[in-house]
Structure 1
Amino acid sequence: MKNKIVFASLLAAAFVSTVTAQDTKAFLGRWDLTSTPATGKPYPQWLELTENGGKVEGRVQPRGGAWHPIAGAHVESGKLIVDLGEGTGPATVWELTTPVAGKLTGIEKRGDAADGLTIAGAKAPSLDRPMPKAWTKPRPIFDGKDLNGWEPIGNVENNKWIARNGELVNDNPETPGKRGPGAANIKTTEKFQDFKLHIEVNCPEGGNSGIYLRGRYELQVGTEGGKLPTHEMGAIYSHYPPPAGSELGLGKWTTFDVTFVGRHVTVLRDGKVYHDNVEIPGPTGGALDSNEAEPGPFFLQGDHHGVIQYRNITISVPKK
């Protein structure tokens, strides 16, 4: 009898484990999210969930800053409860419904109460594309004379971007390392899918800016104080640091050559390989949207310390 009881207990445990695995399977993978607060505008986020030994693990990209690991996740009443592991007060969790046709929805709770934020998600596209066989001749997307083809975004009332001496300059005179008082960013009016970008930048000591590819993935310009390599000059923000021992080289002109096809990016800085065909898993903090399958603009950060200078910005795209 005892053996039968033990066997029945093991069978029940195995059944529960199987059910849990089946319940969580639909949630696994990468998700492009749009979060809509009770008041204010929607903003992009990103979530990746994996399974390890029957345990759901993952990471989340908040509205700004770096991604961080989730504290945990479990299925409850047919919904996935994701503990974001944020803050010091009541736990902040996402309550996500079982995905249907690659879409999911959910709400955010703080403690037991919903805080009014709703979540809409879509399975992130793979974006696996072969390297184009040929590219168009590079053409300028900044003429050095005016802001034609560019427009301020964010706090446009405090736009500090100007064209001066052939340079695109963020004239935001802020203390090095300190965030400015809501100055504007700037983006191209034209959108791009796959491309080769050439861009030169002069970032002052303590300066902080960023080049957003398709408006979603940040190539770090300047410094965040050296605490994390993935937040320093030439990093794919929060994902890939520059090569070990790389100098910031602030206060002088430096060149980035970027080849971006699908999710894979190669970055050369002054001819040195910083990133060799690495995969960017998802949007970084500060992205304009999470619509990864769509083309997007280039956008340059201007809401941090100035004076940042860009010049000789050219683009090549795959030949049709």
Structure 2
Amino acid sequence: MTPRLALILIATTTILLGGIPADFSVAQAQEPRSRGPVHTEPPTDDPSYLLLGEFAGPITIGENEYETIGLQIRPLGRGEFEALAFRGGLPGQQKHRPEASKMVGVLSDGFLVLSGGPWAIFAEPDHALIISRTGERLGRLERIVRKSPTLGAKPPAEATVLFDGSGTDQFNNGSMTDDGLLIEGATIKPMFQDFDLHVEFRLPYMPQARDQGRGNSGVYLQSRYECQILDSFGELPTFNGAGSLYRYRAPDLNMSFPPLAWQTYDIRFTAPRWDADGNKIRNARITAWLNGVVVQDDVELENKTGAGQAEEPNLLPTKLQNHSDPVRFRNIWVIDRGLTPATEFPVEGNGEVEPAVKPTEPAEKPEAAEAAEEAKPADDTEPAEETPADAEAETAPTEDAS
């Protein structure tokens, strides 16, 4: 029996037996293991990495009826995987439904079979096929790569730029990588009371690590209130997961992107208020957007979170936590709302961050410019006429015959 056939039989048997328990986890079923490899760049020797990510597409649910399925696949190391399948689309998409089918699988020869849901999923790096209990192909999901709508957001004129890759003057304990990224563990020098903060971060790929040991950092507002940074991709919202207020409140939605992708935190913080005797008369409040989606909506904080410092009337600096994982940061800026109370926030980005120092570009040679001009299409070129088949393809989902 070939490995591929064995995986198909395992997947089919699991489906027929009613799937796996909702709380089952490959990670929970294993013996404790080390944190394993830590990658700050895409690995070239890990075939499981090629399957990490998000997939989406329509499946057949009846005659001429279709439903969008969103799929998140995360490697656990040593060829093992977990995945979440969502009806209606991925987290953050308009018709997303938060209930998920938890699935598990094993890699064999670059091919992954996931089982545990109402169907089996056969995943490859660029797509995933969904197969029913009777072996019928229901649909094909395509790999998608999402970007935060605030990625690359430029600081407004009234903002204070804290980090743009040109130096760490605005930080204590600040250090940079050779390619101009801020290393975890830096403390912001300026102190603010009420502020809006934009931070972009990138998590390492640590497939064998688990829970709080998997790409951990955090934004410690005033050194007291932690907005959690963690590799929680492919998990349901958890109490101490990404987007949570650490040890205080789970996120409304898990908007984590895969590790090694650039992600964004946009945080609106309002400090507590005190009377002349040092008594607190109003609690702190936080609204947080993870990758452009609200995950904490004007939440009132009755006290500090986790290991934060005690609440007092004095200001303390905001920190980017060092939890021993190589988390990298860029494009950090803050708006002091005490000075500019009516600023729009978050700010829409363009997905790219300009380098701090632009290299000087050589002037284009005249002959090169002339050749480029000749290569441009004529302005009077008419677009190709749309055929009925083209129009139908835009409105009805199709399936690959392969």
For Structure 1 versus Structure 2, the TM-score category normalised by the shorter chain is: 0.3 to 0.5
Give the TM-score normalised by the residue count of structure 2. 0.37
The structure with the largest strand share of the pair is: 1
Give the TM-score normalised by the residue count of structure 1. 0.46
Higher relative contact order (CA 8 A, sep 6+): 1
Q: Which of the pair has more CA radius of gyration?
A: 2
